[in-house]
Amino acid sequence: MKMVNKWRKMVNKWSLWLACIYLSGCAAGDVVDVEMGNGMNENKSWAFLKPGDVVDVVAPASAGLDNSDEYYQRVKHCLASIGLVARIPTDMIVIGKDPFSANSTRSRAKHLIKALTNKESKAVWAIRGGYGSAKIIPFLGNIPQPQKPKLLLGFSDITALHLFVENKWGWSSIHAPVISQLLVNPKLLDELKPIVFGEKLSVEYRPIALNKSARKAQVLNASITGGNLSLVQTSLATAWQIDAKDKIIFLEEVGEKGYRIDRMLNQLLQAGVFASAKAVVFGGITPPSLKEGEQDLTGAAVKNFAKQLAIPVLFLPTIGHDIENNSPLPLGSSCRLSLGKKPKLICLTGGE
């Protein structure tokens, strides 16, 4: 029976993939190198959410912008607007326990582990990024892997957790707005709701080619890994280091000057991160506040880097720290990147 169920899931995923290609208007002859196990992910899918499902709200990194009961009521109302029930620990944030993060490292780990392993909730959603997620990963490494995958939502500092659940547990997840971002711009839920509820089985993006390889007509099939550039750099030489072999690397950043972007990319390059990757897609690279007369060189750093790589490099500005634009991006699920004059990226959502 287990073998039958496993085969059924494979067939269903493959059928969805073919439907995705068909609906996007791609001719059968355009599809190359599309076969299970060759550029297609075998990560475990999270379960689509339903109205009334419980979502555990966590603060693995920095504290929320407000720690009042009124703020938490806004969080609950925000998720309730799409039919979800937010569950927030009363001691989730304790100011002063840690000079940099929402609570002590041990307490943040305890809350996250409970959220990931309990059977009542269907998803785990970070209230904010900031700093601190990487420090609780050793605690995750000491627990048994949960039997069922659970949807993890967040971005920025939450990149550390996305990389861990992908590399260590084989989970798919979604690079998505944190809840504090949704409170400022609730419209960001419009793109996310149909994905998490299974109303949409695939998502399409229109990235911009940044180098010659990206302008050459070809089709790549791979899953996406990555997230925030600083956190991907932080993952180097750790147990949860980014594994980019035969994958598309996604990178976004905020508040870093051009030379710092250049330095981080150079370290990843020398560390061999891009050596076996299929492509690189940059999201928004939001520059820091600049002094009068100071030049923004973040774009120059990205363009210069793109010229160095033989693999395709593209730009997708609708994902990142821009409060007006932060589209959800499935991580660890099957994607199809069509390159040429008008690049197109189509990804399965990762749910089932």
Q: Domains of the chain by range and CATH?
A: 29-44+201-348 (3.50.30.60), 54-196 (3.40.50.10740)
Which of 162, 173, 252, 334 is the catalytic position? 252
Catalytic residue at 252?
Answer: yes
Which of 156, 235, 327, 334 is the catalytic position? 156
Q: Is 144 helix (H, G, I), strand (E, B) or coil?
A: coil
Beta-bridged to residue 175, according to DSSP, are 154, 329
The predicted pLDDT at position 73 comes to 96
By the 8 A CB rule, do 328 and 224 touch? no
**Run means of pLDDT, 10 residues per run, the chain, 352 residues:** 42 44 36 38 89 98 85 97 97 93 97 98 97 98 96 98 98 98 97 98 98 98 98 98 98 97 98 98 94 92 97 98 96 98 97 96
The predicted pLDDT at position 168 comes to 97
The predicted pLDDT at position 64 comes to 72
The predicted pLDDT at position 8 comes to 40
The predicted pLDDT at position 41 comes to 54
By the 8 A CB rule, do 98 and 104 touch? yes
Q: Which burial class, exposed, middle or buried, applies to 180 when counting CB atoms under 10 A from its CB (0-12, 13-18, 19+)?
A: buried
Summarised one tens digit per residue, pLDDT across range 47-90 is 999 999 999 999 999 987 778 899 999 999 999 999 999 999 99
The predicted pLDDT at position 111 comes to 98
Catalytic residue at 77?
Answer: no
The pTM (predicted TM-score) of the whole model is 0.90
Measured between alpha carbons, how far is 156 from 160 in angstroms, rounded to an integer? Answer: 9
Summarised one tens digit per residue, pLDDT across range 215-273 is 999 999 999 999 999 999 999 999 999 999 999 999 999 999 999 999 999 999 999 99
Which of 321, 327, 333, 334 is the catalytic position? 321
- Per DSSP, 204 falls in state E
Catalytic residue at 321?
Answer: yes
